[in-house]
Amino acid sequence: MQKQFEEESWAELESDPGLFTLLIEDFGVSGVAVEEIYDLQSPLNSRTYGFIFLFKWLGEHRRGRRELWDFSTQSKHNVANHRLFFAKQKVSNSCATYALLNILLNLNDITIGPLLKNIKESTEGLDPESSGIIVANTGELARCHNKHARPDAVRELNKQTNGPVRRSVVYSSSKQARFHFSSYIQFDGHLYELDSLKDFPIDLGEISANTAWTDYFQKIVLERFSNSDVHSNEIRYNLMAVIPCPIMEAEEKLRILKANVQILTQILEKFVGSKLTTDKKLGVDERRRRLLLFCESSFKSTKCNDSKCSCYSMPSGISIEQVLSHSVINDWFFHRNRKFINLKLTVSSAQVVVIKKLIALLNYVDSGIAQVKMEINALKERKEQFLVDDARRVHDYEPFIRTFLTAMAEKK
């Protein structure tokens, strides 16, 4: 594999979940986001695709770094490693992109887009060194990467490009402190550390069948901290999780809830058989509103025989999570109450109970829809803030500041 690296240079990137989310989108990947982990003691999201760890690099003192961060230093050249995508970092300041690629290109249930698909196909069967060179020579990756760099990082990059080539391959926020991104994923039942500065993936052990891989990762990380000598107040690490896009997940939840509302409305219409709700000119929401008013007014004075029944309360044992599955509709109404269901309205005490509980469940799902809509709006506002923060991050304020200070000096 020929080494080039001259076409594109890479600028330093910050450890920011919004930046990484936007960078993933620039790669052409859909349905994936990044969030920051603030508390290692709390349960982690079990749907996490992978973790990205930013830690303080101790320069060339590899022994110190290994003692602090490596739970296992044994690289295993097994079958899994050959199927596992892993690219070794070959250019300066690119570890953020390498960390992302070492997660994204090992996922089979996401849409990675043409750019990453081409890289995945080009690196199939290659060793980490060759895969790393292909990544380094992909100019479009570098352009996506540099798009989110601060102007001072770009200026520093230009100085380095015009001067001697710096061979350091770690993220460095200053000459005094250097940091590096490393990835962790679950693959074939094992936890792997994918550190792009290493020659091979590191197998951190097999994950037992009854243990979530995120719990195993959490245990490993906490053990590393407990065994380290880091006791200062200095923040020496940052942890981010690569997760399914929360907006898309919430929108899917909303779609299912709306589908359940339609199912519940149809069942209620079968109970009532009211011509009031069959007017095709009426919208779905208006039909449901009139149907509920009709039912509540019709059965308001009807008493059920069960003195312990709370007819308009949420049916016990059903949560909003269960409502997200259509099976709860079929199970609760068609199996447990099949004998009460018919197309004609026969007001018996037992049927009134079912109808009233059906109304309660419909109202409960409606409240769930309102909550999910609020969640979606909040997530979209957060995404907009990512864009605002990114625009502020990449904007070069130096020319304005220089001009302003010059003007102030001239006035004096």
Question: Which residues are known to be catalytic?
Answer: 95, 180
∠ CA 252-254-257, nearest 5°, is 110
CB 352 within 8 A of CB 299: yes
- Return phi, psi of residue 284, to 5°: -60, -45
Rounded Cα gap, residues 279 and 11, in angstroms = 63
What single-letter amino acid sits at 160?
Q
